[in-house]
């Protein structure tokens, strides 16, 4: 399709042609022509946010829960700089986002014009790619290319910066047909020889483990299905990073729980002691590996990743397979079946025996209390109340996030949205709103802390305006809990500025926005209060008053290997757990 | 924490074919500075006007694992078409051009001219008290030439950085 239209009209046409149904944005001087073009159509629905950071997190929640790219529209200058945190978040967690920014007219670029900033310069290191479009005849191609780049290969955020004169200028629009990037063509199929070598290694393994990550989710639901099939066929244990939760069902007996700094004892011990590790779409992040030179010292490592730069970045692997998880798992399964591979049943049974002994340590246990709500108990009760519902969970960042990862269990991919790489406080509420936009009939809950929730709380107004009945479940311990925990670990319990002073009355605050406020402080009242929250057809801010002093365990102290975890039955010595060398780590 | 990679650092010459679009050089330089990699030398120029391609030659040093990482990181940049490690693909031709100004009179001046001659440097500017020499060669040769001129009234040096190309009939 080719026809003449203005740049602003091209933006809307390109979004329509890309199948975009929702976008998140905030108007301003440099994007007014696009907002005007939006006014003349009703195919793409616009969600008006309260802060541009919220817009990007909403797009992330939308993308991660639906598998589609999230779309953001913001103005120049502060609009663009406010989006930077969200863009960086999407880059680190590989979330496909297309962010359109307005720019001052081309003749004013470089003159320090009102609301001018060097958007492509500022966003260059925090996007997968970005464009400044100076000619309206490039605009349609660039927009389609932006969607292609954001969604193909390792997904990520792409910025398209459009000067205001380009939005007014007329040019020829081209449709998305035949737009394929000249050079950016990521490899999807893994190398046959490598796949064969990997399958042979796996079939002979005596202590294997599947270490899976967000790449399985990004590869689509079929990748999760293939992972389950491979696990069932082999009988091997499965663990996952924070980003990969849900790709493998938590109710399955082969599931070891999450691994890493706050992962389960069994998952980390199995990682440490395994002889063959199959890393599927994960990237050996420092939260996962602990001390690098003591990371899984005796294992042969196979690494499937679509991004070649993830291979051998932190950990040297024996068999790298560059490709998309779905394609590679498919080929691995075919090869496995073709070879009539038979795992060493005896060895695997004895491996499971070892794992069961680690499991018996019950590393997620905690001391229950009849008087005060333990944060873990709150998550458990929430999980029990909603596990049979069609539910999506988002989180903010901190202790509550780790407790949610430990005590809320996921059966399906795309149900769990959290800021893993960047660790952005304030992510959860807007991400929940984005997920609710994608799934209007589903239950969406943001598991939050009282500190994090205040970072993007203004988006409650967005939720009210668009009838998005998200539930915000705040574990309120009146501390930036994870900061305080690290002050216990590293700084002799001197709680420098980690107390949440002058907290608002969350119930009144919710009501001030037009939502529902609920407070609960006694374990005995919790179930009924959760039911009340679930019954509400409006956004709810649930102020769950929890034990102030609880720390998040188990934990691999920074600078320690997987087999030196602090367990909840031996929490003493927290202040001595980290060595001098470990203290510099975060 | 002991370093994960204590293999000795190596010097590698990388050749990159990139889209000649605004910001492409900033993207590459930003990648090096943002991730803490070294740039020993960097040259860039358009090599094909029709297809709007530029060729960038980067000389970098790092442990082998870091060099691999640099190549993968460069390769995943959207406007980067190809990354070739000329140090791995075999002995490449590496050349650098330098302009060197010396100032002096009498014997010193004579000596500078003799050294320039033995290095096959060309004299591209002459006054009664100065010369500008143009020299082309491997970076080590230029280093040596410059160090010899140091006591002979060296004023300033301008070097292009390394341009490199693989030997044999094939393109990168």
| Structural class in CATH, domain A192-359 | alpha beta
pLDDT above 90: residue A458 = yes
Provide the greatest CA pair distance for chain B.
60
Interface of B with A (CB under 8 A): 1-2, 4, 19, 22-23, 26-27, 30-31, 34, 65, 68-69, 72-73, 75-81
**pLDDT one-digit tens code per residue, A168-186:** 999 999 999 877 777 788 9
The Cα–Cα gap between A88 and A64 comes to 15
Q: What length does chain A have?
A: 586
**pLDDT one-digit tens code per residue, A430-450:** 999 999 999 999 999 999 999
Taking CA atoms, what residue in B is nearest to A150?
Answer: B78
Given A9, A52, A60, A116, the catalytic residue: A52
Q: Are B71 and B58 in contact (CB under 8 A)?
A: no
Average pLDDT, chain A: 96
| Residues of chain A contacting B30 with CB distance shorter than 8 Å | 124-125
pLDDT-derived band at A1 (thresholds 50, 70, 90) equals low
pLDDT-derived band at B2 (thresholds 50, 70, 90) equals very low
Residue A285, φ and ψ in degrees, nearest 5: -65, 160
Per-residue CA distances from B3 to A292, A313, A563, B12, B73 (Å): 9, 13, 20, 21, 21
According to CATH, the superfamily of the domain at A2-174 is Thiamin diphosphate (ThDP)-binding fold, Pyr/PP domains (3.40.50.970)
Q: In the prediction, which pLDDT does A581 show? A: 78
Query: Higher pLDDT residue, B25 or A571?
Result: B25
Q: State the average pLDDT over residues B86-111.
A: 94
**Tokens encoding A278:** 């199959």
pLDDT-derived band at B3 (thresholds 50, 70, 90) equals very low
The Cα–Cα gap between A426 and A429 comes to 7
pLDDT-derived band at A572 (thresholds 50, 70, 90) equals low
Instruction: Determine whether the interchain pair A307/B69 forms a contact, defined as Cβ–Cβ distance below 8 Å.
Output: no
pLDDT above 50: residue A90 = yes
- H/E element, B154: strand B154-159
Q: Which CATH architecture has domain A375-545?
A: 3-Layer(aba) Sandwich (3.40)
Q: In the prediction, which pLDDT does A185 show? A: 87
Considering chain A, what percentage of its residues have pLDDT values greater than 70?
99
- The CA distance from B129 to the nearest CA of chain A, in Å, is 44
B10-85 fold: Alpha-Beta Plaits (3.30.70)
- H/E element, A474: strand A471-476
- The CA distance from A582 to the nearest CA of chain B, in Å, is 7
Q: Following DSSP, what letter does each residue of A299-317 receive, concatenated?
A: -EEEEEES-GGGTTSSS--
pLDDT-derived band at B1 (thresholds 50, 70, 90) equals very low
Q: In the prediction, which pLDDT does B101 show? A: 98
Is the preceding peptide bond at A554 cis, omega within 30 degrees of 0? yes
pLDDT-derived band at B50 (thresholds 50, 70, 90) equals confident
Q: In the prediction, which pLDDT does B172 show? A: 87
Alpha-helical segments (H) within chain B: 24-34, 64-75, 107-118, 139-149
- H/E element, B11: strand B10-19
The Cα–Cα gap between A131 and B23 comes to 9
Any idea which of A250-259, B41-50, B134-143 has the lowest mean pLDDT?
B41-50
| Residues of chain B contacting A313 with CB distance shorter than 8 Å | 69
Question: Has A316 been annotated as catalytic?
Answer: no
* Cβ-proximal residues to B107 (8 Å cutoff; 6+ apart), any chain: none
The Cα–Cα gap between A18 and B137 comes to 53
| Number of Cα atoms under 13 Å in the Cβ half of residue A192 | 1
**pLDDT one-digit tens code per residue, A363-401:** 999 999 999 999 999 999 999 999 999 999 999 999 999
Residue recorded with tokens 């406010």: A82
- Residue ranges with strand state E in A75-190: 97-103, 129-132, 157-163, 170-174
The Cα–Cα gap between A123 and B92 comes to 36
Residues A68, A71, A73: CA angle, nearest 5 degrees: 175
Under the phi-then-psi rule, with left for phi > 0, alpha for psi from -120 to 50, and beta for the rest, what region is A365?
beta
- The CA distance from A330 to the nearest CA of chain B, in Å, is 25
SS3 B13: strand
Q: In the prediction, which pLDDT does B5 show? A: 57
ipTM: 0.90
* CA gyration radius, chain A: 24
Q: In the prediction, which pLDDT does B90 show? A: 81
pLDDT above 70: residue A337 = yes
CATH 3.30.70.260 in chain B, residue ranges: 10-85
pLDDT-derived band at A100 (thresholds 50, 70, 90) equals very high
Q: What's the distance, CA A135 to chain centroid?
A: 35
Q: Which CATH architecture has domain B92-165?
A: 2-Layer Sandwich (3.30)
Average pLDDT, chain B: 93
**pLDDT one-digit tens code per residue, A203-229:** 999 999 999 999 999 999 999 999 999
SS3 A162: strand
Q: Is A163 exposed, middle or buried (0-12, 13-18, 19+ CB in 10 A)?
A: buried
Domain ranges of chain A: 2-174, 192-359, 375-545
Given A128, A164, A207, A301, the catalytic residue: A164
Q: Are A24 and A62 in contact (CB under 8 A)?
A: yes
| Residues of chain B contacting A121 with CB distance shorter than 8 Å | 23, 26
pLDDT above 80: residue A575 = no
């Amino acid at each position: 399709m080719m026809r003449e239209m203005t740049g602003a009209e091209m933006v809307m046409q390109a979004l329509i042609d890309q199948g975009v149904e929702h976008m998140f944005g905030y108007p301003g001087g440099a994007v007014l022509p696009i907002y005007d073009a939006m006014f003349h159509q009703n195919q793409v629905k616009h969600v008006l946010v309260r802060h541009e950071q919220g817009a990007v997190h909403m797009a992330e929640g939308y993308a991660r829960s639906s598998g589609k790219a999230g779309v953001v529209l913001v103005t120049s200058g502060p609009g663009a700089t406010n989006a930077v945190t969200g863009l960086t978040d999407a880059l680190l967690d590989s979330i496909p986002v297309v962010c359109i920014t307005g720019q001052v007219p081309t003749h004013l670029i470089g003159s320090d014009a009102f609301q001018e900033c060097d958007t492509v310069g500022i966003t260059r290191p925090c996007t997968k790619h970005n464009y400044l479009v100076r000619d309206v005849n490039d605009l349609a191609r660039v927009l389609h290319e932006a969607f292609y780049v954001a969604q193909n290969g390792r997904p990520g955020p792409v910025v398209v910066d459009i000067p205001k004169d380009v939005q007014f200028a007329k040019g020829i629009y081209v449709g998305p047909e035949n737009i394929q990037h000249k050079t950016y063509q990521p490899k999807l199929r893994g190398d046959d020889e490598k796949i064969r070598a990997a399958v042979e290694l796996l079939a002979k393994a005596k202590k294997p483990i599947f270490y899976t990550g967000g790449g399985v989710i990004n590869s689509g639901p079929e990748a999760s299905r293939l992972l389950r099939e491979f696990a069932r066929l082999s009988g091997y244990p499965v663990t996952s990073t924070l980003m990969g939760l849900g790709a493998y069902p938590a109710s399955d007996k082969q599931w070891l729980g999450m691994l890493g700094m706050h992962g389960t004892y069994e998952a980390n011990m199995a990682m440490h002691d395994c002889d063959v590790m199959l890393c599927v779409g994960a990237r050996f992040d420092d939260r996962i590996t602990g001390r690098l030179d003591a990371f899984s010292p005796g294992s042969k490592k196979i690494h499937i990743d679509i991004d070649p730069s993830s291979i051998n970045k932190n950990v040297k692997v024996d068999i790298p397979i560059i490709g998309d998880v779905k394609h590679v798992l498919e080929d691995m399964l075919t090869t496995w079946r073709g070879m009539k591979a038979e795992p060493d049943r005896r060895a695997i049974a004895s491996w499971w025996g070892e794992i069961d002994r680690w499991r018996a340590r019950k590393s997620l246990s905690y001391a229950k209390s009849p008087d005060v709500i333990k944060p873990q108990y709150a998550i458990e009760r929430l999980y029990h109340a909603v596990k049979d519902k069609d539910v999506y969970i988002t989180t903010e960042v901190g202790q509550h996030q780790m407790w949610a990862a430990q005590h809320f269990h996921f059966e399906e991919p795309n149900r769990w949205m959290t800021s893993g790489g960047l660790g952005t406080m304030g992510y959860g509420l807007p991400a929940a709103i984005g997920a609710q936009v994608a799934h209007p009939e589903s239950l969406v809950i943001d598991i939050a802390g009282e500190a994090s929730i205040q970072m993007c709380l203004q988006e409650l107004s967005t939720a009210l305006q668009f009838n998005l009945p998200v539930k915000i479940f705040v574990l309120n311990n009146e501390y930036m809990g994870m900061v305080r925990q690290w002050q216990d670990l590293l700084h002799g319990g001197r709680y420098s500025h980690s107390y949440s002073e002058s907290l608002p009355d969350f119930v009144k605050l919710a009501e001030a926005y037009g939502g529902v406020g609920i407070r609960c402080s006694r374990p005995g009242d919790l179930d009924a209060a959760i039911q009340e929250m679930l019954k509400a057809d409006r956004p709810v801010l649930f102020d769950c008053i929890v034990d102030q002093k609880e720390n998040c365990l188990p934990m691999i102290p920074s600078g320690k290997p997987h087999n030196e975890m602090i367990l909840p039955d031996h929490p003493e010595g927290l202040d001595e757990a980290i060595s001098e060398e470990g203290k510099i780590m975060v | 924490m002991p370093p994960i990679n204590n293999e000795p650092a190596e010097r590698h010459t990388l050749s990159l074919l990139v889209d000649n679009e605004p910001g492409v050089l900033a993207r590459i330089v930003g990648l090096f500075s943002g991730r803490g990699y070294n740039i020993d030398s960097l040259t860039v120029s358009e090599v094909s006007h029709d297809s709007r391609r530029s060729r960038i030659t980067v000389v970098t040093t790092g442990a082998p694992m870091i060099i691999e990482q640099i190549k993968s990181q460069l390769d995943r940049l959207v406007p980067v078409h190809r990354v070739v490690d000329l140090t791995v693909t075999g002995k490449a031709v590496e050349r650098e051009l330098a302009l060197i100004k010396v100032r002096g009179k009498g014997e010193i001046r004579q000596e500078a001219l003799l050294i320039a001659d033995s290095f096959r440097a060309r004299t591209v500017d002459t006054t009664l008290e100065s010369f500008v020499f143009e020299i082309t060669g491997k970076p080590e040769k230029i280093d040596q030439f410059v160090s010899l001129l140091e006591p002979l009234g060296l004023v300033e040096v301008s070097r292009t950085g390394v341009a490199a190309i693989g030997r044999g009939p094939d393109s990168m």
